[in-house]
Structures are given as C-alpha cells and as structure tokens.
Structure 1
Amino acid sequence: MKASERQRIILDLVQTREANVEQLTEALGVSEATIRRDLAALHKQRRLVRTYGGATALVGVHEPEASLEERKAARREQKETIALAAAAHVHDGDTVMLDGGTTCAALARHLAVRKDLHVLTNNLLAVTTLANAPGVHVTLLGGDLRRSSMSTIGPLAELLLTRVSVDKAFLGADGVVAGFGLCEASAPQASLKDCMIRRAAQIIVLADADKLGRARQQHWTPIERDWRLITAMSASEDALAPFRALPQVVVELAGESAPR
C-alpha cells in the first residue's frame, strides 16, 4: 500500500475517535514503525493531532449529507451489481432485514420475485417495490420518518426489533471503516443499525467502492462479530486491504465470488 493511500485511510479512521497505534496497525495490517512515521508526517502537515500513543482528528471535519436524489443517481451501476450479488444470499423461506438507503432499495427489486420470503425493513423505497410482490410478506418498522432517506428511525422502530429476529440483515452506510464499523449522519440511524445487527444471524454490508474507508460523518455503529462486505470489483486493493486483514470479515466483490 502506498504511503499516500495509507495516510488517507488513517485520516478517515481518526474521524471516528482517538485511535492508538495498536488499533491503526491492526486496521491497516502494517508495522507500528510504519504507523508512527505516517502519524508524524500527518501531524507535520497539520492534518491530525498527535496524542500519547496515537492520534485524533482536527475538530469539525465532516461532510454534509447528500440528498436522496443525489444518492439515487450516484454510482448506480455499482449499486445494481452489488444488489444482484446480495440477492444470491437470499433463499425462498428466509426472513431478512433491509436497511434504509438506495443500495438496499435496489436489492428489494431483485427480491420481488421470491417465494415465501419475509422482509422487515425501515426502507420506504423498498416497501414501494415489494408492496405488490405476491410471494413476499413485508413488515414495516414504524417510527419517525427521515425524509432525507425515506426511511423510518427512532425508538418505535427499535422497540419492534426487540420482538423479532432475522436470518440475514443487509445494511447500508455513509461509510464503512475496517475495525471501526459503519459511519452515519445521525445518532438515530447508527442506533437502529446496532439493533438490526443484534437481531440477525448473519450480517451483510452493502457498500460501493467510494464508501470503503470513508469516515466523514460523526455517528458510528461498531460491528463486533463476523460479517460479510459486498462491494464493487472496481474497489482498489489498497481500500480492500484493511478489511481483508480482519479475520471476522469476508470480502466479496460483486460479480466475482459465489455465496458461501
């Protein structure tokens, strides 16, 4: 991995919280000496703040959330390919969770032809797609409407999740960072994802290549168990390396790997 790419990932990682050298070493799969050199270089460039044994971000570095229409248009081909790969993990008779977001909405289109399928979701785009699918039973998570994503969030949605369990949960995110988890624009989104993770036998994260290592929002959902990442074949090896280095993560490139 080139130093510039490694340092970009470090900057994304320290947006989550103060990170120590040991955490960064594990996340990037390099030596402590390499991490210390990178931290010294980034500190000299005034791009992060060194702390005892690690580093933290400069205050206030985050991105505005993209609109729903912008997200629908962005990387549409990648999302369709990822959704198709995700659908291969779903079998007739399954109970599955679909998170909010446009990639999970794309997955819903591939599930509309299934039989004896139960879908629980907070994604109103997915509900619209599945409403007339005769073989799919849909349970909508109630709660507060989040207009910017056309999804539901909040205590009522979380309460329903305490009463159910699913075979597989398909999660989207604004960003996904190896060793840290899923990045979101609001605390209720991050909290609901945590509830979804707790109620699912299998966790599958759907993220296009641009979301790998991206940590430009301020709220986080850790994934502290085995999970699968499905991303695009266009993702660089530098971006994939931190995920491949984690024993609890299976990396699948859409169009390449068969489910296992």
Structure 2
Amino acid sequence: MTRGRHRHPLLLEALRAGEVVVEELAERFGVSASTIRRDLQHLAGEKTIRRTYGGAVIAHPLAHSLAHPLPETSLKEREAQARPEKAAIARAALSLLAEDDILVLDGGSTVAAFGAGLMGRRHAIITNNLPLVGVLAGAAGLTLTVLGGAVRAGSMSTLGPLAEAALRRLTADKAVVSGDGFVAGRGLCEAAIEQVSLKSLMMEQAGEVVVLMDSSKLGRATQGAWAPLPRRWTLVTDAGATQAQCAEAEEAGARVVRAGS
C-alpha cells in the first residue's frame, strides 16, 4: 500500500494513460475509495487534474507532458513490457499485408515483434530498426535495405540526415511505425525530434500507414516531439483498448484493428 503524498506521482502516471475511475485506483493502490477521492481532490486543487464523474483525467495532458516528460526507457526495458499484447498486435498486423508488399519498418520493440513474423514471407523491407537486421538478413523470400545514419542507442535505430537522404530515394506500399504515445490532433510522440523527422518521412514515402501501439500508449503524451499522422491510417492495438480510446483514434482518421477481440 502506498501512503499519502507518495501516491500522487503514481496517480498522475496512471492518469497519463487516460481517464480512470476511483474504484480502479483504490484497488490498484490498496486503499479505500474515499482515500483516492481525497487524493484526487488535492490534485484537482493544484489544477494538475480535472475531476470527472467517478474519476479524473490530466487537466492539460499535452502541457503537462511537455513540461515534465517521462524518462525514456531503454529498448531492453521496452521489450519486457506488454509482451503478450505486442505479440497479438504483431500477428494481427501481419494479416493486413499483401504478398510482395514493400515495407518500411520503424524502430522500436513493437515493430521488431512484427518484423520477426516476416520470416518465411515474400517482402522487400526497408528499415532503421537495427535489432531486426540480424533477424531478417539473408532470410529466404526477403530483401533487406538498412537505412544508414547516426545510431540512437536508446532505441537501437538509425536516424538523421543520412537515413533521411536514403529514404527519400525509396518508396513503400506500407509504413509500419509505432511511438511512445498517441494523441488525436497531434499524432505520435517520441523523445527526440530526429526520431519523428524520420518517422514522418517514412509515412510520406508509403502508400499506407499502419501504427502498432498497445493500449497503454493511446491518449498518452509522455514526450515532446510529434509526428503528425495522415488523414487515413490503420491502428493495430490490443484487445484491452477501451471504446473511448478507439473512438479517439477513429475520429483522427484511423481504421482500428483490436488484436484478439
């Protein structure tokens, strides 16, 4: 059980993922519903959150996250998070591909899970996702183009002017991308402007955009650099995505696929 003001940062972290209700928070933190209501009332008094019927939301999610971005986790840490959800998302996304599609694959652990499922298929692949290189290089039926450039150790991906210059000479049927979070009207967030610059170019160079993102990241604005999404795109998420999260994505132009639902 967490105590007093020590709960407040944890409550804010829970709320960054979207609206939650008092009873869920009470169960999560092992306290009574009345205790959670007092915590929320305190945070509302500081104008950090906004109370809703039965729960609360971050008062100004974009401003709050830009002022206090969360520390970026390592690729190894991200690989250990939401593994069943990422595996289900990868399987669902693979079913959207046509034979011989040319694919441009973003960095990140969710896209890596998807990329590993391409073994035994026929595709031309363009990627900056370095962990995928050892997996896919030399695989029968696949051709692999690696975007050169500066290596970003936190995500084990390449980026920068060299990667962008190479990508501008290429086109793809589908761009398969992810991000640290999604907010309607803003797009996908990442920690560095170089990440979203290359991600945006991937989406521009492809005929279709497929975003792979587990439900904990939907409606979440934890980083300060943004890649806008096209007017029409596909979101592949897990079965835990709420109706509100799916509706927000649909209003932003998405066709939503809930893996395993």
User: For the superposition of Structure 1 and Structure 2, which TM-score range results when normalised by the shorter chain?
Assistant: 0.7 to 0.9
**Which residue, out of 189, 192, 208, partners 1:186?**
192
Give the aligned residue type for 1:187: I
**Which residue, out of 129, 133, 138, partners 2:139?**
133
Whole-Å separation in 2 of the counterparts to 1:10 and 1:193: 22
**Which residue, out of 54, 62, 70, partners 2:77?**
70
Aligned to 2:121: 114
Could you tell me how far 1:254 is from its partner in structure 2? 1.0
Q: Show CA shifts across 1:102-134 (max 9, x none).
A: 11111111111102x100000011111101311
Moved more, 148-157 or 54-63: 54-63
Could you tell me how far 1:241 is from its partner in structure 2? 2.5
Whole-Å separation in 1 of the counterparts to 2:178 and 2:251: 21
Whole-Å separation in 2 of the counterparts to 1:92 and 1:237: 32
Q: Show CA shifts across 1:39-65 (max 9, x none).
A: xxx9854227xxxxx977256221000
Q: Supply the RMSD in Å over aligned alpha carbons.
A: 2.6
> TM-score, normalised to structure 1's length?
0.77
Whole-Å separation in 2 of the counterparts to 1:83 and 1:209: 14
In the alignment, is the contact (CA less than 8 A) between 2:82 and 2:214 conserved in 1? yes
> TM-score, normalised to structure 2's length?
0.76
Whole-Å separation in 2 of the counterparts to 1:245 and 1:144: 36
**Which residue, out of 227, 242, 249, partners 1:221?**
227
Could you tell me how far 1:149 is from its partner in structure 2? 1.0
**Pair 1:95-2:102 in alignment:** yes
**Pair 1:160-2:160 in alignment:** no
- Which structure has the larger Rg over C-alpha atoms? 2
Give the secondary-structure state (helix, strand or coil) at the position aligned to 2:158. Answer: strand
Give the secondary-structure state (helix, strand or coil) at the position aligned to 1:203. Answer: strand
Give the secondary-structure state (helix, strand or coil) at the position aligned to 1:89. Answer: coil
Could you tell me how far 1:206 is from its partner in structure 2? 0.3
Give the aligned residue type for 1:86: A
Q: Show CA shifts across 1:73-112 (max 9, x none).
A: 0001100110111111222211011100011111111111
Aligned to 1:20: none
Query: Which structure ranks higher in relative contact order (CA pairs < 8 Å, sequence separation ≥ 6)?
Result: 1
**5+ long unaligned stretches in structure 2:** 1-14, 20-42, 50-58
Aligned to 1:250: 255
**5+ long unaligned stretches in structure 1:** 1-7, 13-41, 49-53
Could you tell me how far 1:240 is from its partner in structure 2? 2.2
